[in-house]
Homo-oligomer: A and B are copies of this chain.
Amino acid sequence: MDEALERLRDLPYEDLGFAELDHHRALRTGFPEVVLGEGKTAEQVASIAGKLAARNDRLLVTRAGPETYRAVKDAVPDAVYHATARAITLDRSGEAKRPGVAVCCAGTSDLPVAEEAAVTAELMGSAAERLYDVGVAGIHRLLDKMAALRAARALVVVAGMEGALPSVVAGLVAAPVIAVPTSTGYGASFKGLAPLLAMLNACAAGVAVVNIDNGFGAGYLAAVINRQAWQGAPE
């Protein structure tokens, strides 16, 4: 076995359930651990968060309600709550945020997912340019933001309903577009299936898709791409 395997063998790990996954990534990448708050009690999340905060300078808890935040704050007093994103973060890194990530959506109902993406990208060292009123049914507002769109090295585009925004945006920029379908809407949206399929069929090249409502995954990927643009390859 090669050197990579050697390194794998020596990785320490703790029994932290879901969080372990990104723990190993963190060792390789400097990116923060992530705790999925959904399906865990406030106490469980607080316990995990406390352990992580003792070993890392950054922390991210996603899908966390106010009650979970109160429990985490007891364990990690400098944790910050992002109400719209439903995310808890901690950033003691002092790292400056570099520009290059833009997060786009059409308005109110997609904000929680867009904010989850933005908060994630920020915690990973990217400044997130928020463009939150750019739906396809009012195309002039999108065109008004073209300078900001084109300045980005990676774009997260969040949309529910017909999921058309990523196609339109990708037709205007050259940078990668990470599309996030949302489960907002009703009826033939089928909980986000409609925008998911639309985005997978985007007629513009340069679009890739993450799971429905997965703002975290999109923000993570945008930050990785942006980081590469200023750092070069991962190793």
Q: Which residues of A contact B (CB under 8 A)?
A: 1-5, 8-9, 11, 13, 15, 17-18, 20-22, 24-25, 28-29, 31, 34, 38-40, 100, 106-109, 133, 135-141, 143-144, 146-147, 150-153, 160-164, 167-168, 170-176, 178, 181, 183-214, 216-218, 220-221, 224-225, 228-230, 232-235
Contact B188 A201 (CB under 8 A): yes
Which residue of chain B lies nearest to A204 when distances are taken between CB atoms in the complex?
A: B137
Flag if A138 contacts B229 (CB, 8 Å). no
Closest to A149 in B: B4
* B140–A8 touching, CB < 8 Å: yes
Contact of A186 among B11, B135, B139, B211 (CB under 8 A): B211
Could you tell me the distance in whole angstroms from the C-beta of A229 to the nearest C-beta in chain B? 4
Copies in the complex: 8
Greatest chain B CB density within 10 A among A20, A220, A225 is at: A225
- Cα A212 to Cα B56 in complex, Å, equals 37
Known A171-B21, A217-B207; contact A151-B4, beta-carbon cutoff 8 A: no
Q: A135-B203, A161-B202, A192-B187 are in contact. Are A18 and B108 (CB under 8 A)?
A: yes
Question: Is the beta-carbon distance between A146 and B5 smaller than 8 angstroms?
Answer: yes
Answer whether A216 and B205 are a contact pair too, CB < 8 Å, given A139-B171, A139-B172, A198-B197.
yes
CB distance from A188 to the nearest CB of B (A): 4
Query: Known: A188-B211, A198-B164, A213-B187. Contact between A141 and B13, CB under 8 A?
Result: yes
| B residues near A196, Cβ cutoff 8 Å | 187-188, 200
Which residues of chain B come closer than 8 Å to A168, judged between CB atoms?
136-137, 139, 164, 168
Q: Are A214 and B187 in contact (CB under 8 A)?
A: yes
